[in-house]
Structure 1
Amino acid sequence: MTEPIVVTAIFFPAPGQFDAVHDALQPAIAAVHDEPGCILYAIHRAPDDTIVMIEKWESADLLDAHGAGEAVAALNASLEGKLARPVDVTRLVPLPAGTEIQGTL
C-alpha cells in the first residue's frame, strides 16, 4: 500500500498582485479537485499575504501525474509576471500521531 503525500505550496504574490494570484488559482483548484488521487487541494492566506496551498494525494505517482498535467501547466502560465519569486513546494510524508482522524491531515 502506498502512503498518502501531503504537499505545501507557498505562492509569493508580487506587490499589488495578491488578487491576481488568488484569481489565477481559482480555475486550477476546480480542475484539480476532479483529478484522480486528489484528496485535498485548498488555499489559505497567511498574515504576510503569501498564499499557502495545502494538498493531499493518495500516492506519489498520482501527485507526479498532477504535476505533469494540464491544470498545473495552465496555472503556471496564468501566474507569469504575478509572483515575486518562485513557488516554494514541499512534499511531506505524514507521521500519524494521536487519534486516527485528528492525527493526520
Structure 2
Amino acid sequence: MANPCTVVVTLEPLPGCADEVQTVVARELEEIRGAAGCEAYELYRAVDDTVWLIERWSSREDWQAHFDQPAIARLKRDLTPLLAAAATRREMYSPR
C-alpha cells in the first residue's frame, strides 16, 4: 500500500491581492479535487492574508500526476502576477 502524501502550499499575495488569489484558487478546487488519489484539497486564508492549501493524496505518484491537470496550468498562469514570491511546498509523509 502506498504511503499517503500530505502537502502544504503557501501563497504570499502581493499587497491588496489576497482576495483575488483566494478567488483564483477557489475556482479550480472542484477539478483538482476530482483528480485520481486526491483525498483532500483545502483552501485557507491566514490573518496576515497568506493563502494556504493543505492537500492529501493517496500517494506521491498521485500528487505528482495532478500537476498535468489543466487546472494547475491555469493556477500557475493566473497566480504568478498576483504573488510576491514563488509558492512554497512542503511534502510530508507520516512515519510508519
- TM-score of the superposed pair, with normalisation by structure 1: 0.86
C-alpha separation in 1, matches of 2:91 and 2:68: 16
Partner SS, residue 61 of structure 2: helix
Residue 82 (structure 1) aligned with residue 56 (structure 2): no
**2:62 alignment counterpart:** 62
Offset of residue 8 of structure 1? 0.2
Query: What do residues 17-76 of structure 1 show as CA deviations (whole Å, max 9, x unaligned)?
Result: 011101100122111111110000001111221011100000111111002321111111
Partner AA of 1:42 in structure 2: E
Unmatched 5+ residue regions in structure 2?
Answer: none
Q: Percent identity?
A: 29
- CA distance in structure 2 between the partners assigned to 1:41 and 1:84 by the alignment: 23
Cα RMSD of the aligned pairs, angstroms, is: 1.2
2:40 is matched with which residue?
40
Task: Tell me how many residue pairs correspond in the alignment.
Answer: 96
Partners of 1:94 and 1:17 lie apart in 2 by 34
Q: Does 1:15 align with 2:10?
A: no
Structure with more of its chain in strand, by fraction: 1
Larger relative helix fraction: 2
In structure 1, the gaps of 5 or more residues are 97-105
TM value normalised by structure 2: 0.93
Large movers: runs of 4+ above 2 Å: none
Q: Distance in 2 between matches of 1:52 and 1:79?
A: 13
Letter of the 2:44 counterpart: H
Report the equivalent of 1:25.
25
**What's the counterpart of residue 103 of structure 1?**
none
